[in-house]
Amino acid sequence: MTDSTSYDAAVPLTLPTDVSALGRLIVRQLGRAGIHNTLAGWMSHYIAELMQAAEAAEGDERSVKMALCSQVILDLWAKADVLPDGIRPFQGVEPILRTLESLDPDDDTPAYLRPARRPYKAAEEGDESRQWLECAEGLDYSARILIRYCLARASEGALDTTKEWVAAAKLATEDDPPLLPVITFLSDETKIIEDPSAEQKQNLEDRLRRLEAFSLMATTISASIRAELEEIDVGKDRQ
């Protein structure tokens, strides 16, 4: 049987819809898992053999074998998200994706303050009440900033490999991979942190100002809660 590892370093094929890059990634991924997973190892060798056979064929036979090879690769890619642990291409970012699904940090709609709220009016809200409502809005926004930052940091280790899969999938299929918006979001957030443009630097500075205000608000609220607890304790002592 053909050695899929040696094939992984071979000259790229020119398959229909250019699935060769995706095929090589799949061969490499399955080959690594093949040490502990017999089926993965077999699939790695099988796809490698199909690719080599397609490259070696000539005339009409070449077209037929390339079409078969492409179909096998795309069929397997369609099931990539249900492959076993250690084989799934996007396994490294799956925890981040689950967090994104629940938090949606790219949505500007406040997480806790819904659109039903109305503008503040001095005649309807006292100064102190209005300040607390504005504080709640600030906390909601700041929490979103912190979430985006944490997700970007969490994705750093797995993002490079994931982007390689996304790039190969874009070459192999007419449709963008479903995860492309998510990968783009994480990539953009990471770039803002590591290599910001002048505009992004201003964005970071704005985030920092808001987070510093958030820190001040948190300190104020902590002090208020602490004072309330102390009053409760004093009241119990007097009973």
Helix runs in 34-93, H state only: 38-56, 59-78
Kindly tell me the sign of the dihedral angle through the C-alpha atoms of 132, 136, 141, 147. Answer: positive
Closest CA to 22 of 160, 156, 177, 158: 177
Residues 95 and 73 reside in one and the same domain: no
Residues 72 and 96 reside in one and the same domain: no
Domain count, the chain: 2
Residues 13 and 124 reside in one and the same domain: no
Residues 27 and 101 reside in one and the same domain: no
Is 92 in contact with 162 (CB distance < 8 Å)? Answer: yes
Q: Among 48, 82, 116, which residue terminates a domain?
A: 82
Query: Which pLDDT does position 49 carry in this prediction?
Result: 92
Residues 188 and 124 reside in one and the same domain: yes
- Tell me how far apart the alpha carbons of residues 36 and 24 are, in angstroms, rounded to a whole number: 20
Residues 57 and 124 reside in one and the same domain: no
Q: Is 19 helix (H, G, I), strand (E, B) or coil?
A: coil
DSSP string across 116-167? T-----TTTS-HHHHHHHHHHHHHHHHHHHHHHHHHHHHHHHHHHHHHHHHH
Residues 22 and 137 reside in one and the same domain: no
Q: pTM value?
A: 0.56
Q: Among 21, 48, 82, which residue terminates a domain?
A: 82
For residue 36, give both structure tokens: 């502990």
Structural domain span for residue 47: 4-82
- Tell me how far apart the alpha carbons of residues 109 and 87 are, in angstroms, rounded to a whole number: 36
Query: Which pLDDT does position 126 carry in this prediction?
Result: 60
Give 79-125 pLDDT, tens digit per residue: 888 888 888 888 877 777 777 766 654 555 555 444 444 444 544 55
For residue 229, give both structure tokens: 């607890």
Residues 225 and 138 reside in one and the same domain: yes
Residues 31 and 109 reside in one and the same domain: no
CB atoms within 10 A of CB 88: 16
Query: Which pLDDT does position 125 carry in this prediction?
Result: 52
User: How far are the Cα atoms of 41, 69, 109, 172 from residue 175, in angstroms, in the given order?
Assistant: 29, 19, 29, 9
Query: Which pLDDT does position 103 carry in this prediction?
Result: 62
Query: Which pLDDT does position 107 carry in this prediction?
Result: 56
The HSE-up count of residue 157 (CA atoms within 13 Å, CB side) is 8
Q: Among 82, 99, 130, which residue terminates a domain?
A: 82
Query: Which pLDDT does position 154 carry in this prediction?
Result: 77
Residues 66 and 97 reside in one and the same domain: no
- Long-range contact pairs involving 177-184 (C-beta distance under 8 Å, separation at least 24): 179/90, 179/97, 182/93, 182/97, 182/100, 183/93, 183/159
Residues 111 and 227 reside in one and the same domain: yes
| Helix 127-172 × helix 94-103 angle, to 10° | 140
Sites in the chain below the pLDDT cut of 70: 1-17, 101-126, 157, 175-180, 237-239
Residues 161 and 201 reside in one and the same domain: yes
